[in-house]
Structure 1
Amino acid sequence: MHANRHIPQPPHSAGEPYKGLRARIDPNQMPSAVDATESDKQQWEGCTYMTLPGHNPPLSTTDFVAFDQGNSSPKFVRVTTWNIPSSSHLAKECDIPLAAVFQPFADLDPREESIPVVDCDDTGPARCEECRAYINPWCVWTAGGSRWKCNLCNHETQVSANYFSNLDANLLRMDLPNRPELNKGTVDFVVSGKEYWAPPPLPRIRSSYFSVDPPSSQPREPKPLDYLFALDVSVDAIRSGFLKSACGVLRDLLYGSTSSDGTQSEPSFPRGCQLAILTYDTSLHFYNLSPASSLASMIVVSDLEEVFVPLRDGLFVDPWESRIAIEGLLEALPERYLNTILENAALGGALLAGLASLAGRGGHIIVFQSVLPAVGPGALEPPGDQTSLYGTEKERTMFFPRHQTWRDIAEECSEEGIGVSMFLGMSKPIDVGSIGIVSSSTGGELFFHPRFDPARDQHVLASQLRRLLTRTTAYNCLLRVRCSSGLRISKYYGNFHERSVTDLDIGILDADKAISVQIEHSRKLDAREYVFLQCAVLHTTPEGQRRVRICNLALQVADLAANVFRYADMDAVVCHLARESMANLTSRRIAHIREELTDRCSSILLGYRRNCAAATSVSQLILPEAFRALPVYTLAITKCKPLKGRNVSADVRNYHSQKMLSMGVRATMQHLYPRLLALHDLDDNIALPDSISHQMLFPSLMRNSHTYMEEHGVYLIDNEDLMIFWVGSSVSPQLLLDLFGVDDILSVDPNSIQLPVLDTRLSAQVRNILTHRHMQRGRTPKMLFVRQNMDGTEIEFSDMLVEDQNNAAMSYIDYLCLLHKQINAVLTNTGSISGGPSLRGSPW
């Protein structure tokens, strides 16, 4: 038997020691992020959350079932406090940022009701004449049902003759049970009128591509979603196997496949949608995929200065009607370019070709790029060594496009309702700061595969592309958030193009993306009344139907700071702080952003201390119940890849910052504080189906620190992007046999990409846990296997343990001391948290 010996932190984890006298804090007494999530799961998993105002919702990390009672589910919208302060003065006293995070197309639990679809006639849904808000459950009916009072602006609007209904004794409409839009917080209105079609983009002095047709001045008629797959065929794409992997994965997703063990995968491409294929190096290659021919004929456009589309018929086709031509092309492409000597790939030209072919209709461009685009529109020079920029005023230039063309392409695509997603499989820097703006401004997504290796990365690429094609997706989107009188939206955060101060253009909006808004007071609110938020997303479905997704929220108003804190939502606050930090990268130095995060955390805790716990001793660190884990999550934000100290490449920083700007609340929380499991300690009945109920119980998580780990253990950590199995140096041979099928730690292959399927209970348990997580997020992250003190990738594992001293930052215990010191200094000397360096005592 092994003695329970906790392991020390590895010496290669570079952190920042605490300066000054340390308060004595018992590590076991420190507030734990895991305790909060685990107790919430015990309370809510398997239970139904009723959405009427007046309750704290379950945490975003809990698998709960929501019942929509007129307020949108917390899966669609979370606010930083469910009791809005009645005045700007009270909001400033509490110092909780006022924000809401909307994820309008979030995945629902299979046990939940689907979103009702309300088919309106040609007149469209009932809307307020004054503020143009949509009819919803919180409107009031007046004048015997012939008028309705808007809950946002209080204006009364006449009811159209075909929408009229008499009222009952409670002044509710007689047809209320048959009107989902008057019962449910989240609904889809089908809108067929031309006024709801996507507007044409504003005319430009000079078009970025050549077209014989003049730019359309008409709204875009809704059509099924078209996909353009653009494949880089330069030397790097061939040599690394990236092109071959992309072609193979695309073919399998279009038509299904059978793996070596006989398991079959179904086709994933949306039925009724069309696709086009484009390849490019220093020229553009279009393909005629017409079903009339079994071979795809190629047309080359070599003029990158004036890009044009050389064919219309046969460019976009139904993949089933043109199956022979498409399969033949995807099989032939890797062979066709096998002897290429062209090292460049004109990504800018390929995107303009996609823009030209999808203009006037919208769609989704999916790009596979391997090299820095050094030719054609937006040609970029290699960025050179950027490490000298860190800590200087020029640091922020890493987060800007280095060529205006990329910004222009991004704007044009989003105005045309085109989303751009990019799979990057490069061996050298590719300047994500420049090319990535096209994805972030159009609502697309970046997928990052540095040093692409088909053996290691192809199955992850396949999983990512399958999720991209199968998740709930809308295109040609226009998003607006309205709020009731007394509040206003001051800022938006996320991946979009801001057309005006109120409207966001988003080419593609999917189930995994969220938009957040910052809210301000414009006058004092009445604590006896609700305030309201309404998010409306005008969009086209992949089937070609124009709809509006509405998310409504009624919130209580609080006069007392205690109620603002009692109903605070830490998950939404953390998500907002993370997004705000990512947005500030273009205007602030990284070190200053980290300092501001610490100040924001201290200010929230100080707000509680002053307003709700003033009688306690100054020497005590008092944490509100809702924010017990706020310090560790704030520390985690300062340690995330875009903000961490030390040298992180600009590509990695940009990729992660764009990802964090668009992630939903749940994904953000699980990314910042990864889920850590002790696999050697699993109970016999965990993660196995119960013989009677067939339900599975999943194991409790543990805290992210070496302090709680043992060297005879096997651990799994998962931050949504990466999953790592860590094997201790004193692990027992039996444990290795049960999990990996080998009995010696030296035989554990660090290059494995998946867990072997073994006929042991432990293997079944761990594979069930992995399957459960795959179902939760719809895709498989990269997987690593590391052995204690043997594999270099162990540093990735160590950096995920956010409670340790690493990532050029403090340990959690030291960070608590710093916060305590800041708050103590203000309480003793009066003043404010951000009162200058003397109060900060900044360790960064």
Structure 2
Amino acid sequence: MYAQGTHIPQPPHSAGATLSGFRAHIEPHQIPSPVDSIEDDRVKWANQTYMTLPGSHVPQSTTEFVAIDQGNSSPKFIRVSTWNMPSTSRLAEDLNIPIVAIFQPFADLDDREEPVPLIECGESGPARCEKCGGYVNPWCTWTAGGTRWKCNLCAHETRVESDYFSALDANFARLDYSERPELQKGTVDFVVSSSSDYWASNPPRPNSFYGLADSTLRDAVRRPQKMRYVFALDVSSASVTSGFLASACVALRTVFYGRFLKDGSEAARACLPLECNIALVTFDDALHIYDLSPDHATPRQLVIPDVDDPFLPLPSSAFLILPCPRAVIESLLDSLQQRQVSFPPGATSHSCLGSALRASLAALVHSGGHVVSFICTPPDFGAGRLVPLEHSNRDETIDDKKFYMPRDVEWSNLGEECADAGVGVTMFMAPTKFVDIASIGAVPSLSGGDIFYHWDFKPLRDGPILESQLRRLVTRNTTYNCTLRVRASSGLRTDHLMGNFHLPNPSTPTFGTLDADKAFSVSFTHVASISPHQYASIQCAVLHTTVDGQRRVRVVNLALQVAELAGNVFRFADMDVVISHFMRQCRSILAITRTPTLKLSAIREELTEQCSAILYSYRRHCAAATVQTQLIIPEAFRGLPVYTLSILKSKPLKAKYIDPDARNYHRHKLLGASVRSTMYHLYPRMLAVHDLNDSIALPHPETGIAEMPSLMRGSHVFMRESGIYLIDNEELQVLWIGQSASPQLLHDLFGVDDIFEVDIQLTELPVMETRFSKQVRNILAQRCKEKGGRRTKLLIARQNFDAAEIEFADMLMEDHNNAALAYPDYLSLVHKHITTAVQNGSALSPGASIRAPW
């Protein structure tokens, strides 16, 4: 055991807000800790399998667990804000718990779990309800001797087709039940490639620049095809000099063909899906299209100088090719990579990004696919050109709407057209100045794509991260040409849908691409009472095309118990979903509002009201007999105040100045993030790595599984100057080293004895043959594995010496920072709201006027 030292003072960072007026002293060690709940749940499910039948408590989103599908989908595919549905709208309104479901329909499964069943349907397609269109599932019932089935969503009875008929047994179950996965499993894939009724529709509004696109555009629907990728690279002077272009070329070459060491051994495997066609486009103040057909020894470049009216000068057979044979493509990547060494004459500082995206869309409009763009310079030429803002600096107020809305409708229109065409757009950004993500980011946000943001790009530090992100992009479960529909049983109605998609009508979102990392939320309202003697059902159906060109429908089903008592609703509430919904609600407000008077401060106050309203409802309906001044928090919502405070401190909402591009990037990311990613981003995982025991984070000699260490609370109050701490918010990892850290630990981890000799420019930890080094590197490797192989930037921060300590301090969510209250002060504020409402006998609900007393 190493010397413990003393608690450190609060690290240097921007000041937080103060709570005015009287506040009773609250001991930080005694207030509810989110870490205790996370660790207790992790221990509970470490050696226990989750069975998905209704009526049991669900593992938290932050817990690794194995689920067995018993007719309800795994919580990895769908989570709801309460697993006991309120029976009436009055009960739901009284409790102030939003009725929300968050779907992640293509989430990765544990290796120990069964894969999603694949069901061949033939020409007739899957069995569906004649009235509501719902798909047959384990919760429907069979009547009339098996000739009809009753929909669990609308209660309509539908005739069974002759080729789907089966007689019933004495329990009214089909005799072929064991042979029908769709009647046993909550999540299934129906293959519908042979039925043109399920094929993707051609876009409703083809533009003139689609001139040389395939003639199938004349058809109403198109046959499913394998995924096609267009890679568009910024070759402006900023992209070349920063090394971003060269790093992008290295990443593409590795993804296409792998990487090998000098001795011939494989360092990285090629991972582009087989038989996927690709194309390469480059752009600066002109657009460069490449004929990559193997008929030429070198790539043939066609320059399109008229970027205001771009067109595709090649047939798709010459533009979109297989990546093998590789000579022509490698020749092009080599020439682009060499620009950093021999800077080409006539290189410009301009960008026609909008024109490049339009030309890429023209190539994919007849098939769908994925456009992956690498951007360094703001678009100031061609379609969607943006005039630089005169004052894009710290003099601007954080509520200035021009930073949060697209400045040219061209970008929103382009995003919608991409979604309609089944084309997703992903942007890798390495800006050296303001690029206006609010404008150009509308394209990936509406088409279901990603944004990867690398400010101040450094090739040695950020190049491997870029490569890992690109590798994850092409290897994760990705679908395209997606439309979805969420249906609920009688008594419930879908209300608002929130996520990164295009919404051509209120109930049918359209995604250009939808992948394993993306989630979206749906809120529900009561339109009638629900009987507590039956289940409330939710079904999500995603019609999509797989990377290998198969048309499918993924169906996610959930049946919930119905509760008449407030206590049962709170008992089975899911705080993780509620918090994720709060985040999406805020992101949507920032994304769609055009009201000049709406300010971020009003959104922050509304969040505090929502938090107070939920806790007050529990106090009022489940703990009314307690002392009025006592703070009562339900077990399911013990972490609600600290997570709400974390939302207020998040980059999209924090009151201190944040670069507008960074604010908008995080807004995009959190709007489509999974519940798990959201929770870990809001309250970063923190470890005291100096205090690891001898066996933790090392493979077990029998099972080979390495147990990860327990987390600690995110506050300087629990830190010591002799410690070494690792914090991770899914976007950034910081290794903090105390001034009194043991020289032996430093030697074991870095190979040096003095804290001043630690290389803070390290991008990854050195490989040392010490137990401590292996443990910390195993922890980092496990975190990378949990992200699907996507690496995270690592910073080294020595106490009171390095600028990275500011980033570290801002991630301590319980501290007095980020222009917001410390956790004890915020808990006092929430308590004050509730106590005043209890003493006055007044209502407390979101939107109520509760601010006046303070």
TM score, norm. by length of structure 2: 0.96
Aligned-pair CA distance for 1:689: 1.4
Q: Distance in 1 between matches of 2:213 and 2:704?
A: 63
Match of 2:180 in 1: 179
Aligned-pair CA distance for 1:664: 0.5
Deviations 1:151-208 (A, max 9, x none): 000111111111001111111001101100000000000002111011122236x546
Deviations 1:237-266 (A, max 9, x none): 111011001001100111011257966211
| 1:417 matches 2:428 | no
Alignment of 1:52-63 (within 5 A): 52-63=53-64
Alignment of 1:139-218 (within 5 A): 139-191=140-192, 192-203=194-205, 207=208, 210-211=211-212, 215-218=217-220
Aligned-pair CA distance for 1:443: 0.4
Summarize the Cα distance change of 1:764–1:390 in structure 2 as closer, same or farther, 3 Å threshold.
same
Q: Distance in 1 between matches of 2:853 and 2:297?
A: 68
Partner-residue secondary structure (3-state), 1:497: coil
Q: Distance in 1 between matches of 2:845 and 2:97?
A: 15
Alignment of 1:70-89 (within 5 A): 70-89=71-90
Q: Distance in 1 between matches of 2:431 and 2:825?
A: 39
Among 257, 279, 289, which residue is 1:276 paired with?
279
The one-letter code matched in structure 1 to 2:367 is R
Among 265, 268, 288, which residue is 2:268 paired with?
265
Alignment of 1:431-580 (within 5 A): 431-580=436-585
Deviations 1:725-748 (A, max 9, x none): 001111111110001111111111
Q: Distance in 1 between matches of 2:200 and 2:852?
A: 53
The one-letter code matched in structure 2 to 1:226 is R
Q: Distance in 2 between matches of 1:280 and 1:465?
A: 20
Match of 2:364 in 1: 358
Match of 2:726 in 1: 716
| 1:801 matches 2:812 | yes
Match of 2:791 in 1: 780
Match of 2:50 in 1: 49
Deviations 1:462-494 (A, max 9, x none): 110000010000000001101111100110000
Q: Distance in 2 between matches of 1:284 and 1:563?
A: 61
Partner-residue secondary structure (3-state), 1:189: strand
**Contact 1:34–1:703 (Cα < 8 Å) also in 2:** yes
**Which shifted more, 377-386 or 620-629?**
377-386
The one-letter code matched in structure 1 to 2:59 is P
Among 312, 319, 324, which residue is 2:323 paired with?
319
Match of 2:669 in 1: 659
Q: Distance in 2 between matches of 1:6 and 1:277?
A: 55
**Contact 1:209–1:306 (Cα < 8 Å) also in 2:** no
Deviations 1:747-797 (A, max 9, x none): 111111001010000011111111111111111111111111001121000
Q: Distance in 1 between matches of 2:530 and 2:845?
A: 28
Summarize the Cα distance change of 1:784–1:3 in structure 2 as closer, same or farther, 3 Å threshold.
closer
Partner-residue secondary structure (3-state), 1:839: coil
**Contact 1:153–1:484 (Cα < 8 Å) also in 2:** yes
The one-letter code matched in structure 1 to 2:641 is P
**Contact 1:99–1:517 (Cα < 8 Å) also in 2:** yes
**Contact 1:396–1:589 (Cα < 8 Å) also in 2:** no
Match of 1:830 in 2: 841
Deviations 1:81-127 (A, max 9, x none): 00111111100111001100000000000000000000001000000
Q: Distance in 2 between matches of 1:279 and 1:397?
A: 29
**Contact 1:804–1:812 (Cα < 8 Å) also in 2:** yes
The one-letter code matched in structure 2 to 1:433 is A
Q: Distance in 1 between matches of 2:296 and 2:449?
A: 33
Deviations 1:389-444 (A, max 9, x none): 5365xx33321100011011111110000000000011101000000010010000
**Contact 2:95–2:566 (Cα < 8 Å) also in 1:** yes
Match of 1:584 in 2: 589
Summarize the Cα distance change of 1:596–1:650 in structure 2 as closer, same or farther, 3 Å threshold.
same
Q: Distance in 1 between matches of 2:566 and 2:230?
A: 53
**Contact 2:398–2:657 (Cα < 8 Å) also in 1:** no
Aligned-pair CA distance for 1:288: 1.0
**Contact 1:13–1:798 (Cα < 8 Å) also in 2:** no
Partner-residue secondary structure (3-state), 1:692: coil
Partner-residue secondary structure (3-state), 1:480: strand
Aligned-pair CA distance for 1:819: 0.2
Summarize the Cα distance change of 1:459–1:554 in structure 2 as closer, same or farther, 3 Å threshold.
same
**Contact 1:152–1:532 (Cα < 8 Å) also in 2:** yes
**Contact 1:687–1:699 (Cα < 8 Å) also in 2:** yes
**Contact 1:270–1:469 (Cα < 8 Å) also in 2:** yes
Partner-residue secondary structure (3-state), 2:671: helix
Q: Distance in 2 between matches of 1:836 and 1:369?
A: 41
Alignment of 1:281-430 (within 5 A): 281-312=284-315, 313-320=317-324, 322-336=325-339, 338-339=343-344, 340-386=346-392, 387-390=394-397, 395-430=400-435
**Which shifted more, 5-14 or 778-787?**
5-14
Aligned-pair CA distance for 1:213: 6.8
**Which shifted more, 287-296 or 816-825?**
287-296
Q: Distance in 1 between matches of 2:92 and 2:737?
A: 48
The count of residues paired between Structure 1 and Structure 2 equals 839
Match of 1:595 in 2: 605
Aligned-pair CA distance for 1:334: 3.0
**Contact 1:601–1:631 (Cα < 8 Å) also in 2:** yes
The one-letter code matched in structure 1 to 2:670 is M
Deviations 1:617-674 (A, max 9, x none): 1111100000000100000011000000111011000000000000000010011000
Partner-residue secondary structure (3-state), 1:736: helix
Deviations 1:8-53 (A, max 9, x none): 1024331111111112222111000000000000101232100000
Aligned-pair CA distance for 1:282: 1.1
Partner-residue secondary structure (3-state), 2:189: strand
Unpaired runs of at least 5, structure 1? none
Aligned-pair CA distance for 1:840: 2.5
Q: Distance in 1 between matches of 2:723 and 2:261?
A: 33
Q: Distance in 1 between matches of 2:373 and 2:62?
A: 32
TM score, norm. by length of structure 1: 0.97
Summarize the Cα distance change of 1:343–1:128 in structure 2 as closer, same or farther, 3 Å threshold.
same
Summarize the Cα distance change of 1:835–1:108 in structure 2 as closer, same or farther, 3 Å threshold.
closer
Aligned-pair CA distance for 1:832: 3.1
The one-letter code matched in structure 2 to 1:246 is A
Match of 1:239 in 2: 241
Match of 2:257 in 1: 255
Identity %: 52
Aligned-pair CA distance for 1:76: 0.2
**Contact 2:448–2:501 (Cα < 8 Å) also in 1:** yes
